[in-house]
Amino acid sequence: MLRGTVTALTRSADAAGVLVIGGLLTLLTWVVTPVWIGGALLFPPLVLLAPLTLAPAFVARGYFVRVLAAGIRSGNADGAPPFVAWNELYRDGLKSAFVSAVLLAPLAVGVSLAALAGVALGSDLVDHTPVAEAIRTALGDGGIAAVVGVAGGLVAAVAFAYLLAFAYVRPAALASFAASGRLRDGLRPRRVAGVADSGAYATAWVVAAATLGAGYALAGPFIPLVVGAAFVFVARVAAYGLYGRGAAATLEVVDAGDADESAAPIAAEPDERSTDLVRPPTPEVPAAVQTGRTVPLGGVSVGGTRTAEARADGSASHRTDGAVEAGDEFDWFAPDGEPLDRDERDAAGTRGAAGGDEFEWSADAADPEDKS
C-alpha cells in the first residue's frame, strides 16, 4: 500500500510538472495566506480579495481531492493525476474547505462559549461573589486558582480530543465527497461513519499519519531553501492516496446502502461495485494532450515531432530536422491516449493527414486551411 502511493508521483504522465506546480502552490499558501490574514485584520476591506489570495490553497486542496478520487477508483494505479481543469480544482478545493469548516464548527462554538463565560466571570457583568466565597470555603484561599486551572485544563483536553477526532474523520468525509463528487455526500453522517469505522481505513490512516510525520521531518531542514515545500507536497500526495485506498472498499458498501435509505445495507462483492454513484471522469481533452505529449489530428492524436509527412497507412519516419518522412512507423493514439492497433491505425490514417502534407503542433488537421 505505502510503496504504491509513495511512487504514484513518479508514475504520473507529467511528474515534473506536478511536482513543480504542487510545490509552488504549497509555498504560495504558506506565504500569501498569512500575509492576507494579517492585512485583513489591519485593513478589513482586504477581505474582498479572499477568492484571489486563497486561490493557491483552494487549488491545492482540490488536487488532493482528485488524488483521493483516483485512490478510491484505482488505487492510484495510473500515478498521480496531472494539474488540469483548474476551475474544477478550485471548486473542489472550496468544497473541501467547507467540509472542514463544518466539521470544526462544534469546536469553534464550544471554545467561544467557554471564552465568553470566562470573560463574563472576570468582569462585573455577573455577580460571582457567592460562587467565589463557596470555593474559598471549600478549598481555601487557593481554591479559585485551582478551579480556574482545572477548568482550563479540561477545555484544553476536550479541544485536543476533538482535533484528534477531526484529523481522523476529515479524510473520511473528503473521501465520501471525492467518490461521488457531491458535497452533500461528504456531510452525511451515516456515509462518513461507514468509512471511518472500517479497519482498512483505520490502517490506511495510521500509515498516512506516519508518512506525513516522516515527510514533514524530512522537509523541515529544507524549508528555508524553498524546496521543502515540494517535499511537503509529495508527502501529502502520498497520504491522500493512502486515504483513498483505505476508503475504497467501504465506499462500495455505503454507496449500495445509500441508494435506498430505508433498505438494509447489502454487502456487495468487490466486482459488483455500483458505478453510478462514483465520480465520473471529467469530460475534457486528455491529460497527455494538455501536457504537450500528443497532438490531435482529425479524431486521432499523433505523438512525435514538430512537423510530419504522414501516409494514409499511418507510417512515417523521423528526421533530424524535426520532420517525419514516409517509410517508417510512428505512433498513433486514440483521443483517450491509448495506442491504436494496426487496423485502427489504417482507418485513422484515412481520416488524418494526407500523404505529403505538413502540419504544425498548432494546426487543426480537420481544417486544411488552418496551417498556422
In sequence order, the 6+-apart residues with CB closer than 8 A to the CB of 337 are: 286, 287, 288, 289, 294, 301
Quick one: pLDDT band at residue 274, thresholds 50, 70, 90?
very low
pLDDT on residue 296: 52
Residue, of 197 and 293, whose pLDDT is higher: 197
Does the pLDDT value for residue 353 go beyond 70? no
Quick one: pLDDT band at residue 189, thresholds 50, 70, 90?
very high
Residue where a domain terminates, one of 214, 240, 272: 272
Whether residue 67 sits in one domain with residue 193: yes
What total of structural domains would you count in the chain?
Answer: 2
Q: Is residue 11 part of a domain?
A: yes
Whether residue 98 sits in one domain with residue 72: yes
Does the pLDDT value for residue 216 go beyond 80? yes
Q: Is residue 316 part of a domain?
A: yes
Could you give the angle at the alpha carbon of 259 between the alpha carbons of 255 and 263, nearest 5°?
110
Whether residue 256 sits in one domain with residue 293: no
Neighbouring C-alpha atoms within 13 Å toward the C-beta of 88: 17
Does the pLDDT value for residue 134 go beyond 90? no
Whether residue 343 sits in one domain with residue 261: no
Quick one: pLDDT band at residue 339, thresholds 50, 70, 90?
low
Q: CA 340 to CA 259: how far, in whole Å?
A: 38
Q: CA 256 to CA 253: how far, in whole Å?
A: 5
* Segments forming the whole domain that contains residue 266: 2-108+171-272
Whether residue 17 sits in one domain with residue 99: yes
Could you tell me the pTM of the whole model? 0.68
Q: Is residue 45 part of a domain?
A: yes
